[in-house]
């Protein structure tokens, strides 16, 4: 008899899916520099790609490509996806990534952008996720 674990191990993805979603403000309008933006890039969207790449190195994944939208930037990762809006970010990965190891660096990046409070942090930890 095949177990759920056996099916997951033989599937197209290695390891459990992990979702890290961090809100620094309730909406883009609440971001400290929202009113001064002229190009739509404010809050977390002002962070250069190189800074996100360094954070994602900690998590153990790489950016393969990216698309800049009018309200959000999307990154295709070697282990899934990363979405950045002015007030929040979503890191959704699978495989052997270590999303929680990126949290200290994410908080440093946010602090450097004058985010002083964390409005909501949601971390879903399915079975099998290695917690640092």
The architecture CATH gives domain 13-124 = 4-Layer Sandwich (3.60)
Whether 76 has a pLDDT exceeding 80, the answer reads yes
| DSSP state letters, 9-62 | HHSSSSS--EEEEEESSSSGGGSTTGGG-SSS--GGGGS-HHHHHHHHHHHT--
Exposure letters 16-49 (e unless 16+ CB within 10 A, then b): bbbebebbbbeebeebeeeeeeeeeebbbbebee
Q: Which residues pair with residue 122 across a beta bridge? A: 21
pLDDT at 127: 55
pLDDT for res 118: 54
Domain limits of the chain? 13-124
Which range among 13-17, 47-51, 52-56, 79-83 shows the weakest confidence by mean pLDDT?
13-17
111 vs 14, higher pLDDT = 111
Once rounded to an integer, what is the mean pLDDT over residues 83-112?
Answer: 92
**106 pLDDT above the threshold of 90:** yes
Average pLDDT over residues 17-35: 87
What predicted TM-score, i.e. pTM, was given to this entire model? Answer: 0.77
The burial of 93, by beta-carbon neighbours within 10 Å (0-12 exposed, 13-18 middle, 19 or more buried), is given as buried
């Amino acid at each position: 008899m095949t177990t759920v674990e056996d099916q997951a191990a033989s599937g197209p993805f290695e390891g459990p899916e992990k979702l890290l979603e961090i809100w620094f403000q309730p909406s883009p309008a609440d971001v400290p520099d929202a009113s001064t933006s002229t190009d739509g890039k404010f809050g977390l969207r002002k962070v250069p790609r190189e800074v996100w790449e360094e954070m994602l190195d900690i998590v153990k994944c790489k950016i393969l490509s990216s698309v800049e939208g009018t309200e959000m930037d999307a990154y295709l990762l070697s282990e899934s996806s990363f979405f950045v809006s002015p007030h929040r970010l979503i890191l959704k990965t699978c495989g052997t990534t270590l999303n929680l190891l990126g949290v200290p660096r994410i908080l440093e990046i946010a602090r450097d952008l004058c985010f002083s409070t964390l409005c909501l942090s949601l971390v879903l930890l399915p079975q099998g996720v290695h917690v640092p």
